[in-house]
């Protein structure tokens, strides 16, 4: 006999209680060996307990390792932190996994789509590392790490193998972001070499978007950095019918939280018309994660049979209420051929990140100094030589403007001034440069040290450099 697996259940706000009720009753009817541990979160919880995410709820997920979560409302402008973001950060849920599969009776312009999007969930532009450098210039840092990339790629390949998928495609922009996406792609290739049974290829993100809307049926598993993943996963949800049928899971090394992509839909809350499909599919994804795939396929079969029988909720053009739709799925569970034992299959292995790679043997060869210069008609009066550093290049908005010729681009009051040395230097040379700028009254707001690994520069060149 299979021992029940305890899972935290958060019913959430708006339509959350209605759709979680539906999923719980379908799981009961299918005799899935899950024991729910109820926990509170969201706006209603905030109004009751003064916090949208009580410590007991986090502790419940920490204890059980897995949660199924209904949507929670995040009110705008009340100093109320999003429950989803808080959970993701607190539990280090490094991958957002969204299966997108065409369903019968859900009419779309696309054929047979069956794609799983694996999105890196922590880093990239989401680290909130942003600065206003001058009143006219803002920067958002895009941080890609070997550890974050290796984790998400390893997870994508393990999941592909576990679910019998044949191809994993890395989507990136490494032709332009040679260091950021270049590192993401380098890690992808390193991990792919451990999975000779799976086809590994890569696509530039713009081409991937075009091909996804032209030939979506040719894709299998996609793995992407955070920002591209955010956009492309919504694009994929659109391919199969949108919010009502888009499930998702947030995966960490020790914990995982599964929830529908849609929000709490306050406009239809309490009316009994919400579509529980997206949350049900998230719950099936959870069963795959727990190695209970036979139950997942069993319920999926009943869901598909229900949709094929044209029983659909209002959002999909049908007339069924949430309860009628749920009962139709439960009725079809009985029609599935008696299916032997529900055994745990192998659980998707969640990897450990690799240890840090030391950069101690890198040599310091220069510095990029970012300065404010408001006399747009003239280039900044930067010193040509300080200590062992020579001014090699200045760029404005990423385009080289010095040495001449200066192209006729729109200039702003922000220059990157690149100083390089012909031999390795130490940080005292950079201090001397900054002191010289201080004496000249030139305002600088950022310095990036430029390193080389042997003869290979560990920094990019400006356009035209």
Structure tokens given for 411: 């200039």
| From candidates 32, 274, 303, 365, binder to ligand ATP by CB under 6 A | 274
Instruction: Show contacts with ligand ATP in window 233-252 (CB under 6 A).
Output: 243-244
Torsion (CA) 446, 451, 456, 459 in degrees, nearest 10: -10
Is residue 282 within the footprint of ligand ATP (CB under 6 A)? Answer: no
Is residue 262 within the footprint of ligand ATP (CB under 6 A)? Answer: yes
Category of 283 on φ-ψ map: left (φ > 0), alpha (ψ -120 to 50) or beta: alpha
Q: Which stretch binds ligand ATP (CB under 6 A): 46-54, 188-196, 274-282, 346-354?
A: 274-282
CB of 244 to ligand ATP, least distance (A): 5
Site residue total, ligand ATP (CB under 6 A): 16
The rounded distance, in Å, linking the Cα atoms of 327 and 44 is 28
Is residue 18 within the footprint of ligand ATP (CB under 6 A)? Answer: no
Instruction: Show contacts with ligand ATP in window 36-95 (CB under 6 A).
Output: 71, 73
Is residue 12 within the footprint of ligand ATP (CB under 6 A)? Answer: no
Largest CA distance in the chain: 84
Q: With contact defined as beta carbons under 8 Å apart, do 159 and 117 qualify?
A: no
CB of 143 to ligand ATP, least distance (A): 27
Comparing CB distances to ligand ATP, the nearer of 64 and 74 is 74
Q: Cα dist. 260→15, 91, 248 in Å? A: 12, 18, 6
Chain position whose Cβ is nearest to ligand ATP: 263
Burial of residue 25, with CB atoms counted within 10 A of its CB: 0-12 exposed, 13-18 middle, 19 or more buried: middle
Angle at 195 between CA 193 and CA 197, to 5 degrees: 125
CB under 8 A, 24+ apart: contacts of 393-397: 393/417, 393/418, 393/462, 393/465, 394/418, 395/462, 395/463, 395/465
Q: Angle of helix 322-333 relative to helix 16-29, nearest 10 degrees? A: 10
Comparing CB distances to ligand ATP, the nearer of 4 and 272 is 272
Is residue 29 within the footprint of ligand ATP (CB under 6 A)? Answer: no
CB of 277 to ligand ATP, least distance (A): 7
Q: Which stretch binds ligand ATP (CB under 6 A): 31-39, 44-52, 261-269, 327-335?
A: 261-269
Is residue 121 within the footprint of ligand ATP (CB under 6 A)? Answer: no
The rounded distance, in Å, linking the Cα atoms of 36 and 18 is 16
Each residue 324-363 as x (binds ligand ATP by CB under 6 A) or -, in order, gives ----------------------------------------
Match 């900054």 to its residue by tokens: 434
Is residue 263 within the footprint of ligand ATP (CB under 6 A)? Answer: yes
Is residue 268 within the footprint of ligand ATP (CB under 6 A)? Answer: yes
Strands 444-453 and 363-372: antiparallel
Comparing CB distances to ligand ATP, the nearer of 247 and 252 is 247
Residues of this chain that bind ligand ATP (CB under 6 A): 15, 71, 73, 243-244, 262-268, 274-275, 278, 315
């Amino acid at each position: 006999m299979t021992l029940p697996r305890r899972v935290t259940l958060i019913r959430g706000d708006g339509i959350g209680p209605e759709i979680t009720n539906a999923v719980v009753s379908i799981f009961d009817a299918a005799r899935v060996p899950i024991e729910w541990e109820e926990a509170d979160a969201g706006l209603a919880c905030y109004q009751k307990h003064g916090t949208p995410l009580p410590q007991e709820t986090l502790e419940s997920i920490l204890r059980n390792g897995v949660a199924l979560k209904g949507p929670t409302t995040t009110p705008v402008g009340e100093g109320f932190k999003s429950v989803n973001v808080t959970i993701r950060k607190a539990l280090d849920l490094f991958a957002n996994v969204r299966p997108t599969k065409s369903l019968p009776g859900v009419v779309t312009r696309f054929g047979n789509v069956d794609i799983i999007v694996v999105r890196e969930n922590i880093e990239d532009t989401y680290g909130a590392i942003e600065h206003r450098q001058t009143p006219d210039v803002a920067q958002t840092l895009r941080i890609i790490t070997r550890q974050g990339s290796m984790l998400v790629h390893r997870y994508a390949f393990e999941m592909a193998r576990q679910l019998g998928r044949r191809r994993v495609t890395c989507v990136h922009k490494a032709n332009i972001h040679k260091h950021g996406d270049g590192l993401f792609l380098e890690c992808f290739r390193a991990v792919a070499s451990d999975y000779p049974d799976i086809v590994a290829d890569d696509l530039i993100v713009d081409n991937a978007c075009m091909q996804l809307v032209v030939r979506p049926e040719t894709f299998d598993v996609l793995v992407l950095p955070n920002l591209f993943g955010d956009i492309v996963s919504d694009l994929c949800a659109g391919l199969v019918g949108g919010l009502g049928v888009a499930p998702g899971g947030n995966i960490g090394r020790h914990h995982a939280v599964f929830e529908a992509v849609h929000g709490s839909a306050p406009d239809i809350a309490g009316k009994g018309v919400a579509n529980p499909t997206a949350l049900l599919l998230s719950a099936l994804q959870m069963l795959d994660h727990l190695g209970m795939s036979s139950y997942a396929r069993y319920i999926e079969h009943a869901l598909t049979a229900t949709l094929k029988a044209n029983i659909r909720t209002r959002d999909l053009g049908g007339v069924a209420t949430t309860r009628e739709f749920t009962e139709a799925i439960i009725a079809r569970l009985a029609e599935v051929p008696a299916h032997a034992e529900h055994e745990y299959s192998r659980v998707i292995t969640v990897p450990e990140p690799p240890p840090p790679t030391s950069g101690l043997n890198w040599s310091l060869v220069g510095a990029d100094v970012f300065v404010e210069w408001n006399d747009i008609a003239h280039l900044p009066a930067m010193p040509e030589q300080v200590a062992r550093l020579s001014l090699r290049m200045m760029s404005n908005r990423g385009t080289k403007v010095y040495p001449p010729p200066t192209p006729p681009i729109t200039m702003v009051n922000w220059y990157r001034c690149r100083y390089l040395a012909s031999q390795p230097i130490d940080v005292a040379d950079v201090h001397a440069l900054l002191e010289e700028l201080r004496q000249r009254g030139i305002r600088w707001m950022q310095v990036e040290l430029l390193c080389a690994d042997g003869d290979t520069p560990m920094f990019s060149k400006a356009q035209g450099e």
